[in-house]
Amino acid sequence: MKTIRVAAIAILVLMSLVVLGAHYLAPAGYEQQFRETTEAAPSIHHLLGTDELGRDRWARLLYGMRVSLTLAPLAALFTTVLAGLVGGIAGYFGGWTERCSKLLIDLFLSVPWLFLLITVRAVLPLNVSPEASVTVTFALLGLLGWAASARVICAGAKDLMKSEFVWMARASGFSGLKLVRLHLMPNLRGALLAQFWISIPVFIIAEANLGALGLGVAEPLPSLGSLLRELQDSVMVRPEPWRLLPLAVLIVVISSFQVLLNRQEIRT
């Protein structure tokens, strides 16, 4: 198990380096077209061949990884902050605040959020710029994916509020803000960090689903999800198996995250 974990860390470090060095590793820009060599097979010039518009697939994969692997953690950070606020406030105050927050959490957990995401994403104007589409896609992921994490944080905060050291701190005259800063935040840090790591692969998968359905990042900007759209041309996948590489990269990245997540943390 230790070997697998080390391998997972190595893969993620390697992917991060690739993402950082995409500009130097890519033979061309992600939107540069080689019109003489459309649908080309892999060669020294184009390691994964070119797509139907003559764009280098290897370059698009590198830049796609950069988009997905940079923005998914940002969305995860956003959702963790949101979950920390809602869950923390609910757990700290209890009573009606907790009941109302739990109702809101129940609501977000009841609607399959990919359903909600697709719906909201689909009503956006068709002519959004690629930069706007990528921002909107990941902002929506962050905005809609906080509920499960908030439930965990709420339970954690509630337990902490019942703990002896918090009672003693209160008896010693600690104000609310001081209590949160000195006792709640440090003790909830582990849970928040776990929720952050759990959210990253979830968001990468969600973006991949959106991208494969044509509702993710707009062309010509690539993402791991939008690169999967090439697989829809199922007739071409058998003779050109290198088209499956974005999917393989996606599975390897997510699997590496899953390996690193503790079993306790991936519990529902």
Partner 1 sequence: MLRFWSGAVLRLMAVMLMASFAGAMLMRIAPGFSSDDQELNSGLSAQSIQAIRKAHLADANIPYFYAQYLGALIRGDLGTSRSLNQPVKDLLRERLPTTLVNLAFALTVGWLLGLALAIATQTWEIPSLNFLANGLSGTFISTPAAALALVFLLLRWPPAFAAALLVFPKIYRYTQNLLQQSSEMPHVLTARAKGAGPWRVLAWHVAPIAFPQIIALVGVSISIGIGVLLPIEVVTDVAGIGQLAWQAAQARDLPLLVNLTMVVTFVTVCATLISDAAQQGLKRSAA
Query: Nearest Cα to 204, choosing from 183, 188, 181, 228?
Result: 228
What is the secondary structure of 72-134 as a DSSP string?
HHHHHHHHHHHHHHHHHHHHHH-HHHHHHHHHHHHHHHHS-HHHHHHHHHHTS-TT--HHHHH
Give CA–CA dist 87/177, Å, rounded: 16
Q: Which of 104, 139, 185, 260 binds partner 1 (CB under 8 A)?
A: 104
228 binds partner 1 (CB under 8 A): yes
Among 70, 139, 209, 245, binds partner 1 (CB under 8 A): 209
264 binds partner 1 (CB under 8 A): yes
Applying CB under 8 A, among 12, 81, 231, 260 the residue interacting with partner 1 is 231
Q: Hey, is 50 helix, strand or coil?
A: strand
245 lies in the site for partner 1, by CB under 8 A: no
CB of 110 to partner 1, least distance (A): 5
Of 154, 200, 208, 249, the one binding partner 1 by CB under 8 A: 208
Q: Reduced to 3 states, what is the DSSP secondary structure of residue 17? A: helix
Based on the shown chain and the rule CB under 8 A, indicate whether residue 115 belongs to the binding site for partner 1. Answer: yes
Contact stretch for partner 1 (CB under 8 A) within 23-31, 75-83, 123-131, 159-167? 123-131
CA 172 to CA 205: how far, in whole Å? Answer: 47
Q: How far is the CB of 175 from partner 1 (least distance, A)?
A: 34
Alpha carbon distance 160, 143 (integer Å):
26
Q: How far is the CB of 101 from partner 1 (least distance, A)?
A: 13
Pick out residues in 165-204 that bind partner 1 (CB under 8 A). Answer: 201
The crossing angle, in degrees rounded to 10, of helices 95-110 and 147-161 is 160
Residue 61 near residue 246 (C-beta atoms within 8 A): yes
In sign, the C-alpha dihedral spanning 175, 180, 182, 183 is positive
**Minimum Å distance from CB 42 to partner 1?**
20
Residue of 3, 36, 44, 267 that binds partner 1 (CB under 8 A): 267
Instruction: Give, for 25, the enclosing helix (H) or strand (E).
Output: helix 22-25
Residue with Cβ nearer partner 1 (126 or 177) = 126
> Between residues 8 and 166, which has the closer beta carbon with respect to partner 1?
8
Please give the DSSP secondary-structure letter assigned to residue 181.
Answer: I
119: contact with partner 1 by CB under 8 A: yes
The runs of H, that is alpha helices, within 145-184 are 147-161, 164-171, 176-179
Count of beta carbons in the 10 Å neighbourhood of residue 228: 21
> Is residue 263 a contact point for partner 1 (CB under 8 A)?
yes
Q: Which is nearer to partner 1, 172 or 234 (CB)?
A: 234
Give the binding site for partner 1 (CB under 8 A): 103-104, 106-107, 109-116, 118-126, 201, 205, 208-209, 212-213, 225, 228, 231-232, 234, 237-238, 247, 250-251, 253-255, 258-259, 263-264, 266-268
